[in-house]
Chains A and B, each alone.
Chain A
Amino acid sequence: MLELKDVHTYYGNIHALKGISLTVNDGEIVTLIGSNGAGKSTTLRTIQGLNKPRSGSVVLNGVELHKLPAHEIAALGVAQSPEGRMIFPRMTVMENLEMGAYMRKDLTSFNDDLEHVFSLFPRLKERVTQKGGTLSGGEQQMLAMGRALMAKPKILLLDEPSMGLAPLLVELIFDTIKQLNKEGTTILLVEQNALMALSIAHRGYVLQTGEIILSDSAQNLKNDEMVQKSYLGVE
Chain B
Amino acid sequence: MKIMRSGITFGIIAGLLTFLFGGWSVAVIGSLMGVGLGMGLGSGLERKDPFKIAKDVAPTAVVAGAILTLLSLYQNGFVQDAIGKQPAQLNVMIFGNLIGFLGAVLFTTLLAGMHGLPEKQEQKWKMILLAVLVVAFPFIDKLTALRWTAQIIFALIFVILGLGLNIVVGYAGLLDLGYAAFFAIGAYTTGILSSPQHGLFMNFWLVIWIAAAMAAVWGFMLGAPTLPLRGDYLAIVTLGFGEIVPVLFKNLIDVTIKEPLTCWILPGIIRLFGGETTMACITLLSHEDLTAGEKGISPIGRPIIPIINYEFESSNPIPWYFLIIAIILVSVFIIRRLRDSRLGRAWMAIREDELAAAQMGIDPVKTKLAAFAMGATFSGFAGAFYAAYIAGIFPSVFDFSASIIILCVVILGGIGNINGVIVGGLVIMTADRLFLPALKDFLASLLTHTVLPSISDPVVQLAVKDNANPILYRFLLFGLTLVIMMAVRPEGLLPNAQVRAELHPEDNSVEAATPMAKNSSKG
Contacts and interface: CB of A to CB of B under 8 A. Distances in A.
Interface stretch (A4-12, A23-31, A104-112, A165-173): A104-112
Interface residues of A, number: 41
B352 A88 contact: yes
Contact of B361 (A74, A86, A89, A133): A74
Interface string B336-359: 000000100110110011011111
Nearest to B352: A88
Contact of A90 (B361, B501, B510): B501
Interface stretch (B138-146, B447-455, B515-523): B515-523
Interface in A32-85: 48-50, 69-72, 74-75, 79-80, 82
Q: Is the interface of B mostly helix, strand, loop or mixed?
A: helix
B361 A102 contact: yes
Which of B358, B363, B510 is packed against the most chain A CB atoms within 10 Å?
Answer: B358
A130 B498 CA distance: 11
Contacts of A87: 353, 356
B517 A107 contact: yes
A232 interface: no
Nearest to A104: B361
Interface string A130-141: 110110000000
B515 A103 contact: no
Contacts of B499: 90
| B interface, size bucket | 20 to 34
A101 B516 contact: yes
Contacts of B359: 48, 50, 70-71, 74, 79-80, 82, 86
A220 interface: no
A86 B513 contact: no
B352 A91 contact: yes
B308 interface: no
Given A71-B362, A99-B349, A107-B517, A86 B356 contact: yes
Given A80-B359, A102-B362, A92 B516 contact: no
A95 interface: yes
Contacts of B355: 50, 70, 86
B266 to A, nearest CB: 40
Contact of A94 (B356, B501, B505, B513): B513
Contact of A129 (B362, B502, B511): B511
A71 B513 contact: no
**What 9 A-B pairs are tightest by C-beta distance, nearest first?**
A103-B361, A94-B513, A98-B516, A74-B361, A110-B517, A88-B352, A70-B358, A86-B356, A90-B498
Interface of B: 342, 345-346, 348-349, 352-353, 355-364, 498-499, 501-502, 505, 508, 510-517, 520, 522
